[in-house]
Amino acid sequence: MSTTTTARPASGSRRARRFSSVNLPAVAAVAIFAGMLVYGEVAYGRILQYSTISSLFINNAQLILIAVGLTFVIITGGIDLSVGAVIALSGVSGVMLANAGWNPFVVVVVMIGIGTVSGLASGALIEFFGVQPFIATLSMMFLTRGLASMLSTEPQSLAGDSPLRLINTSIKLIDGPKVNDLVITPGVIIALLVVAVAAFVLARTRTGRTIYAIGGSESSALLMGLPVRRTKLLVYALSGTLAGLASLVYTARLGSAQNITGTGWELDAIAATVIGGTLLTGGAGSVLGTLVGALVLGMITVLITRDGGIPPAATAIITGGILLAFVLLQRAVTARRRE
């Protein structure tokens, strides 16, 4: 009897320690975001209000989308450097087709399809030709950026009456005092729906468990008979698809597209996933953590803009510092899990 009663707390304690170690980076991201909100309110005022929340989600909807795709990729132990360039090619193509009078539905399908095809191409290079993910997606980055430049080196403006602009229609949820309204757009709704579906897939489906298994040990996943090749193709196709969707949302909000759009966005998306607790070594991470990571990056921009005395270049420095801190935290967590 005594053996039984002492074993349960020990088991519960081990589970608690494992939960704590796995979720520590995500918890840290939430704490940092909350701290940034409090600091902004104390230092500048008018931060903890509806308009700030609205601008955070509206301005970062495209980052949330591509970061969700990269979360899937990074959990498998891979990387996708092509998403920023895919956004440029998709955006320029979409605007040119829309201005040429194509059916808006067809334009949307083409824009998203460009991302899907690009992702599948990267996945095929990795799975069928044995190319390293870094090289395969780097090649796809140059290819798609070059195609976007061949289409146009000048900004392409979306017609003012284009139906694509409806994706940026403001929807007021709460009518606050003066301009302090809680507002979203269809683009934000799309991003949040993607987050919800992606979180469900990772947490509650066989595909999600396979993705985690591949990141934990691809060879073990193969020995268990899991569909490793099919899943990795799916993951890269998903990353490309969400990049195409992000291009649609961003193009609708900005009203234009050009061949340099999305430069460096893949690095921002990687930073968001890492800050949100996804391990660069694969095998651990969450979409909800990635959402928080994207909001942290957005909040950095808000605070720097509100301060007014900090040069814009400081955004990259601060982001790099936070990212470095989270990478070191990840190393500590990984070492603890191995123990």
Summarize pLDDT for 49-58 with one digit per residue, the tens: 888 899 999 9
How many other CB atoms are there within 10 angstroms of residue 71's CB atom? 34
Within-domain flag for 287? no
Element (H, E) at 76: none
For residue 22, pLDDT over 60 is answered with no
Within-domain flag for 97? yes
> What are the angstrom distances between the C-alpha of 50 and each of 55, 129, 173, 279, 305?
9, 50, 10, 32, 17
Strand partners of residue 184: 171
Across the range 62-85, mean pLDDT stands at 96
Within-domain flag for 155? yes
Separation between Cα atoms, residue 217 and residue 222, nearest integer Å: 9
Separation between Cα atoms, residue 52 and residue 46, nearest integer Å: 8
Separation between Cα atoms, residue 336 and residue 88, nearest integer Å: 41
Provide the pLDDT for residue 17: 45
Provide the pLDDT for residue 27: 81
Q: What are phi and psi of 282, to 5 degrees?
A: 90, 165
Which amino acid, 263? T
Residues contacting 300, CB < 8 A, separation 6+ = 36, 315, 318, 319, 322
Separation between Cα atoms, residue 325 and residue 275, nearest integer Å: 9
Per-residue pLDDT tens digits for 176-217: 787 788 999 999 999 999 999 999 999 999 999 999 999 989
How distant is the alpha carbon of residue 70 from its chain centre? 6
Within-domain flag for 184? yes
Within-domain flag for 252? yes
Domain hosting 218: range is 48-262
Number of domains the chain contains: 1
Across the range 71-97, mean pLDDT stands at 96
> What are the angstrom distances between the C-alpha of 31 and each of 16, 36, 138, 173?
20, 9, 34, 27
Separation between Cα atoms, residue 113 and residue 233, nearest integer Å: 15
Whole-number average pLDDT of the chain: 87
* This prediction's pTM: 0.90
Within-domain flag for 27? no
Three-state DSSP class for residue 174: strand
Within-domain flag for 64? yes
Contact 120, 233 (CB under 8 A): yes
For residue 304, pLDDT over 90 is answered with no
Within-domain flag for 251? yes
Per-residue pLDDT tens digits for 226-251: 999 999 999 999 999 999 999 999 99
Three-state DSSP class for residue 243: helix
Provide the pLDDT for residue 333: 64
Provide the pLDDT for residue 46: 82
How distant is the alpha carbon of residue 42 from its chain centre? 29
